Every structure is written in structure tokens, then in C-alpha cells.
Amino acid sequence: MDPKLVSTVDGNTYILSDNRGDMSAVAGVATGLYSFDTRFLNQWALTVNGERLNLLAVDELNYFETRFFLVPGAATHYVDATVSVIRHRSIEGTFNEQLIVLNHDKSPVTMRVRMDIGNDFADTVELRRDGGGPRQGRTSVRVDNDGLRLTYERESFVRETIVTSSEPAAVDERGMTFEVTIGPHGSWRTTLRVDAVLRGAHGRDVRANLASHRGRKRPEMRRELEEWLDSAPELRTDSDSLAVTYRRSLIDLGALRYSTWTYRERLPMAGMPWYMTLIARDALISCLQAISFTPQLSVPTLRLCAVGHGTLPDDFREEDPGKVFYEVRYGESAAFEEQPQAADFSAADTTLLFVVLLDEYERWTGDENLVRELEYETRKALAWIDQYADLTGRGYVAYQRRNQRCGVLNQGWKNTPDAISYRDGRLPGYPLATCELQGYAYDAKLRGARLARQVWDDPAYADRLEREAADLKDRFNRDFWIADRGYYAVALEADGTQVDGLTSNIGHLLWSGIATEEKAAQVAEHLMSDRLYSGWGIRTLASDNHRYNPIGTHTGMVWPFDNALIAYGLRRYGHDREAARVAEGILTAASCFDGRLPGAFAGYGRSLTRYPVTLPRIGSPQAISASAPLMLLRTLLGVEPCAGHLSVEPAVPETIGLVELLGVPGPWGRLDAVAHGRLPVPG
């Protein structure tokens, strides 16, 4: 996302504006007021006497509250400015903006204050894919009771934007004008209120009777934020940048939560600008990365994934019985099934990660009740692995697009069309079994076995799952290993041909535990080689592969969450220095972004750039990146639940110094983890 854009958010209602507070095509194609996958404002531009305002400062008070300090006219007028403007913006269920105009002169001043208002009611899915296009419905604008009502109608799909002012205004179809006279050293103010309405049956807002969607006031929201922060362990450290990153990560995870229409508990959203909804893969991985710090985030995620598991085969949605969905959307294209996102199942990893998270949650909390509650759905998920995911008959989880009109070609976390390739750049055929999916399946079977034995009292089922996991590990290490290269193939084609691209996917095999000890050592060498490790982090694709592109989404960029899982895997196999080096690179990168890691950044070598380079198209904040520093902290401190107790085996780089994590939650209550950074880490 363009770093010059300013965000304000409450749930999945959010604003993106330029640093003056304006939303318009000039300010940026992504600017606007959004809610439930529809843009409700794309024009919100303030002028004084016909002139746009210029920025003095932006004060981001909280994620739901922002102030802009501005002056009218060109930049050359700053020195002699006698008028200034404050825009105090907040989202409290509705979007409220207080305009304050201050006269700093000893004489009265008369001026025209104008807010230009407009909307296209664009669908966020379409905006992400092609910038939006002509709407198929009908848009109307009406001046109504001293306010402005913008309406979009397409059959039963009705969205409205209603704008009102606390002070009298001359309202026309393009906005509101205020003729203002301010006395010497006086001020004038008005509050503009914007309601984003989703009409349902009988013309009522579909959220009207939902307690979870009743507007909260700022004091309540501030209190909720403090309670969220207080629930996490306290971090004390010699590293100021790590402290900033830790707090920023927790705040962003708290901000990126929302309630669906049907589920009251707040769930993690993927992130800005186009994924302010539940993306199951992102939610599950975010919860896994944050489990040692905010385990409560996992409960609603697991429950909704369980409720939303597949029941029938459906090629349009790529649904199967027991399969966990990928994405839930509420916009126009989903409503009219132009896209499958109303309930999209086009991910091969979410079902496996669901089982992994459920077990990890129980290990960190001791909450067996949730495991019992979700037993049926977990068994269905484990059954999906063998009954539906083995598309080639070779015993591996594979995927192939079934929705030929608008389905996703690659259905692992690297889901761009060119994400999986041979070393020479050729693209493979389908069905395709990527290596990390087999690791997830192996881990899911072992974890399912643990739950079956310890909670469900089904030792026979546990024994079967363990046998299947052992068999999968043996076959995988035979079929995926490229002996003359010393690493695992990124994928197998349907006939068993090894796709020999060298990618970060092999690091996930260490996280899941499917690699053998001997092979893991060779994998670690490849991961830390100059071909994959940039100095900031591990690239998605090695630099000597034909399709390598340092700014390619999955062909060379560095993803923080990818690195966090890999660092954990490196420590799992005893490669402590390598894990610390990966963590140090990512955490140093975070300090360059003021503690807020973007979804990904360029794969340029650290020797080439003094700071990591990101791209405007990359989202920020993203839950999956906000939770990555938490996983890295867990890895460096070596905190693990062990038979109801907290184990601490630190391997902290000397560059970080002292790290104290106070009040780590678990069945043990709250315990502290303390470490002194003594591990030398090469640059």
C-alpha cells in the first residue's frame, strides 16, 4: 500500500486517504471509505475559498482516530498563514469528521468551506483485480433533509451513503458548502457524519439488529485497546526498535479484527487495503504466530472455520466435504456469484492448518473443551486429506483448478500464476502437489493423533493417523528429494516429475517437521545461501532461478511471515545461529518501517540497499505480517509448552541484548521468559 496513505479503521469499516485527509482519484485509486467489501465514498475533498489545503502534520491518535493539521493555499503561504484547519476523523460505527477552522488574525474573516462528496460503490474484489469498472446497477444522488443521500441499487443489492452536518450547509448533488464568518482569534466547527448502509429485507440495514455492529464510542474503543494490550505479555528489552515493533504488532492485530454478519466474536482480517475480511489462511497462520501472546484470537477463528467447512462437492466454489473455506466476501460480485468469494474454498492448505492450530491452541491453553466441541469438524478435515485432496493417487495433497471461469490456478500460499516453476522457468502442469502441503498434512495427522489419544479417547484412530504420518514422511523424503541438488523439489507433477525450483517453501518443511535430520541440514545451507538469503530475509525464489525477480510477489520478494515460520523450523532442527540470523534480518527490516512490517518487501540484497524496499501494491498493515515478530520472539526465546509447563531455551542475538517477556499465558498461569542476547550473528 502507498505509504503516503493514511488509514483509519474500526472492524472492516475503514478509510484510506491522502495525508491531507482527502479521498479522490487525484489522492489515489485506493482512497475511499469502505465497509463489507463496498466503497461508500470515493470523493471527499475539502477546500477553503476554492483552494485545496496543505499539510502541516498528521496525528494518528489511535487506529480508529486521526487528526490532520492543515493550512489553506499554496506552500509559499505557510509563513503568513492566518487561518488553519483541523480535521478530526474517527470511525465509531459511523464515520465522523469534525472540521475546525481557526482564525489567528485580529480581524474577522469570511470564507467558503466546501466538501466535495461522491461515490462509485465499487466492489473491493474488482478494485483489487482491475481497478473497478462500470457498475451494472443504478446510482442515484438526492438532497434529502439537509443531507446528501447516494444510493446504488441492483435488484435486492442496495447500498447507501448518507451524509449530514451538525451545522447548516448549502447541499447540492456534489457536496456541501458552508459560508463562514469567524471573529478575531475565533473558530468555527461542524461535524460531518457519514452512514454506510447495507439495505436488506424491508429496506433495513442488515446489521441493525446485531449487537456486534452497534456503534461503539471512542472511550469504549480506547478501553478495549488497552485491555487487548494488557492481555499480552509485557516486553522489556535493551532494543528500542524491538519494543516499538512489538507494540505496533499488537496494536495492528487488535485493529485488524471484525465481526461477521452471522458471528459476534471478533475475527482476524487479513489486512489493508483489499483484504479487510476473513481470509482463512491468513487468519490461521496469524493465530499460529501469535499463539504464545494472544491465544484468545484463535478461538473465534477455529469456530468459524469449523462452522464454514464444506459439505458438498461444488466446482464453482471448489468445495469438498470437510474442506475449510478460503475467503468470505460481502460485495456485489460475491452476491451475484460473478466471483465465488461469498464462500470460496480455493485453498489447499487451510484444512490442514485448521487442525494444526487446534492442537497448538490446546497445547498453549489446556482448553480441551474446544477440542471436544470441534471433534466432528476436525475428523472431517483429516478425512479430507485422503478422500478428496489426493488428486493423483500418489498419496499426496494436490490441487487443480476446478472453476475454469474465475478460479485460482495455484492454491497454496504462493497463489500467483507464476509462483511455482522449474529452475529454468518452465511452468508445471496440474494437478500439482507442492512440498509444503505435504509437511502441513504430516503435521496435521500427528497433531490429530495427539488429540484423538489425549482428548477424544480414541487410541485406534490415533494409531492409524500416526502410521499414515510415518508413511507419508518416508514417501515424501524419497519422492521429493533431489539428490544431486541437495534440496527438496518445490512440487511434484501428476506423473511424479520433480519441479526443481529452489524456493522458500522448503523452509516450511522444517517448521512442520517432515524433513529428516540429514536432509534438514542441507536445506538450512540452501536457505542461508546468498541465492535465497538477502540479508534482510529469505527470498521466495532463489536468485539463480530463471523467473527470479526481486520485486515479483512470489518470485523473489521477502515475506515476513514466511521467514518467521522458517526461523522456527531452523531452531526445531538445532540451527540456532541460522534462526537468529533470519530473525535479526526481519526485525531490523521492521525498524525501517517504524515497526510495521508490510506484507512483503523486495528481495534486493542488503549490501545493495541500506533499507528494505517495498512496493505500493503490497498491503500494510497485514495481520500475517503483524504477527510475524511475535513468532520470531517465541523462536529466539525458545518458549514452548511442555506437559503443562513453560520451557525456555533462548538463542537471542547479541545485537538485541536483554529480552524479558513477562506474563506468558498458559495452563501454568503467567510465567516470565528472560534471556540475554549472547549469540553472535554474522551480517
320-345: pLDDT as tens digits:
999 999 998 888 888 888 877 778 99
What are the distances in angstroms from CA 517 to CA 56, 71, 215, 397, 437?
58, 64, 54, 23, 19
Q: Report helix, strand or coil for 141.
A: strand
Phi and psi, residue 92, nearest 5°: -135, 60
Q: Distance from CA of residue 253 to its chain's centroid?
A: 9
- Nearest to 508, CA basis, from 491, 494, 493: 491
Residues 627, 282 contacting (CB under 8 angstroms): no
H helix runs in 258-374, sequence order: 280-290, 298-307, 332-335, 350-365, 368-373
What tens digit of pLDDT does each residue of 604-625 get?
Answer: 999 999 899 998 888 889 999 9
Closest CA to 507 of 445, 560, 465, 463: 560
Q: Tell me what pLDDT residue 2 has.
A: 72
Angle, CA 103 vertex, CA 27 and CA 26 arms, to 5°: 5
Amino acid 78: pLDDT? 53
Task: Report the share of the chain in percent with pLDDT over 90.
Answer: 83
Which residues of the chain are under the pLDDT cut of 50? none
pLDDT at 210: 53
3-state secondary structure of 10: strand
Whole-number pLDDT of residue 75: 56
Amino acid in position 544: D
Instruction: Determine the Cα–Cα distance for residues 37 and 344; give it in Å rounded to an integer.
Output: 15
Q: Taking the mean position of all CA atoms in its chain, how far away is CA 453? A: 34
Residue 205: predicted pLDDT: 65
In tens, the pLDDT along 390-416 reads 999 999 999 999 999 888 999 999 999
